[in-house]
Amino acid sequence: MSIVDSLVAAHGGAVTVTTALGEGCCFRVSLPRVSDVDQLSLTPVVPGPP
């Protein structure tokens, strides 16, 4: 969960948790929505050697 929280926070989002005794937990990931593709900063990733 620490890794998930870090990744979501790096993208401007949040992770929330609700729990009910005997029923388990519900994890919700919220990320901001980008309405225009021009607002995205896309950087190609070139894979390195294995």
Query: DSSP letters of 4-48?
Result: HHHHHHHTT-EEEEEEETTTEEEEEEE-PPPS-GGG---------
* Cβ-contact 38, 15 below 8 angstroms: no
Q: Is residue 8 part of a domain?
A: yes
- Going by the DSSP 8-state scheme, the letter that residue 2 receives in this structure is H
Which of 9, 32, 22 is closest to 1 using CA atoms?
A: 9
What total of structural domains would you count in the chain?
1
Q: List pLDDT tens digits, range 1-50.
A: 889 999 999 988 999 999 999 999 999 999 988 765 555 666 777 888 88
Domain-embedded: residue 37:
no
Q: Is residue 39 part of a domain?
A: no
> By residue range, what is the domain housing residue 12?
2-32
Residue 10 lies in a domain: yes
pLDDT the model gives residue 37: 55
Residue 42 has what pLDDT?
66
pLDDT of residue 33: 83
pTM of the model: 0.58
